[in-house]
Amino acid sequence: MILKRSESMLTIPAKTILQKNRSSGWFGNDYNMNLYKGCCHGCIYCDSRSDCYRIDDFDTVRAKENCIEILRDELRQKVKTGVIATGAMSDPYNPFEKSERLTEKALMLIDAYNFGVTVITKSGLIVRDIDLYRQIAEHSPVLCKMTVTTCDDKLSRLIEPNVSASSERFNALEKMSEAGLKTGITLMPVLPFIEDTEENITEIVRKAHECGVRYIYPAFGMTLRQNQRDYYFKKLDAIFPGMSDKYRRYYGGSYECVSPSAKRLWTVFAEKCEQYGILYRMNEIIADYQRGYGDRQLSFL
């Protein structure tokens, strides 16, 4: 049952907040945390819209009821600490976070119970919590990531309509890096025939370097599942007439849609990263941001 809490924010019942990861292979995360369900950021390619995740009315954000109390009890009961990830399936810095402050409260608990955190967002609102991330980094690993798929603000407004434009995301990364936080970019998806140019990739790496970003993890292509594909194609038809037909011809009904330029882009990307000393292999990223925090790194290796 969904209860209406206010004019703008809906809530949804919740039993648990932390989900244990079976492996720590994805950015060294031990747990996943979602305080909200759904996302109103409107990225046209969003994978979380897929049927398989069974999120009704995905574009409506709902806060999980009593999520802070549930999280506190779960953290209190854990025998071992670990790294908590937030930002998959729902952006923790959606527009409601400004007033609801659930992510901020969760970070306070993560700090109090000596856990680490990795966060991924497309919102500049994250800079509000810089001091909290710094506090957590005093005892546990912290990694602050932004997803950036294009350097072109006009394009980002079209394909990611309700989030901070790419330039604002770079500004946020710069502020976090300057504050001494370890920052990264998830460079994914790279939309075939739209974003998969050498210029776009090299410019993202160059700007990342300028902003003090230490890691970039890329995927040169995208994934498409049935209803996510339908949504994406509908949006493509509105923004880039004829483009969805190009996808149909090239990929048919494939789930994995790798850019035809992926090989070349990888070479260019890796060269640029090496030039700037930016890490881009997952094991190196994890080892680097977890270094110096007891035996975490050793257990990963």
3-class DSSP assignment, residue 62? strand
- Cis previous bond, 189, omega within 30: yes
Give least dist CB 79 to ligand SF4, A. Answer: 31
Pick between residue 58 and residue 72 the one whose CB is nearest to ligand SF4: 58
Q: Give me the residues that bind ligand SF4 (CB under 6 A), please.
A: 39, 41-43, 46, 48, 90-91, 122, 163
When the beta carbons of 39 and 216 are compared against ligand SF4, the nearer one is 39
Shortest distance in whole angstroms from residue 73 CB to ligand SF4: 26
How far apart CA 243 and CA 236 sit, in angstroms, is: 6
CB of 89 to ligand SF4, least distance (A): 6
Beta carbon of residue 8, minimum distance to ligand SF4 (angstroms, whole number)? 17
CA angle, residues 70, 72, 75, in degrees to nearest 5? 110
- Shortest distance in whole angstroms from residue 32 CB to ligand SF4: 13
Nearest alpha-carbon partner for 176 in 115, 122, 128:
128
Nearer to ligand SF4, 163 or 224 (CB): 163
* Cβ distance to ligand SF4 smaller for residue 59 or 198: 59
The span from the CA of 229 to the CA of 250, in Å, is 14
Per the CB < 8 A criterion, the answer to whether 12 and 58 are in contact is no
Select 75 or 222, whichever has its Cβ closest to ligand SF4. Answer: 222
Residue 47 vs 111, nearer CB to ligand SF4: 47
Closest approach of ligand SF4 to the CB of residue 97, in Å: 12
Closest to 221 (Cα-Cα) out of 191, 197, 246: 191
H helices then E strands: how many in the chain? 12, 13
Reference 259, options 194, 206, 204; nearest CA is: 194
| H-run or E-run covering 153 | helix 153-159
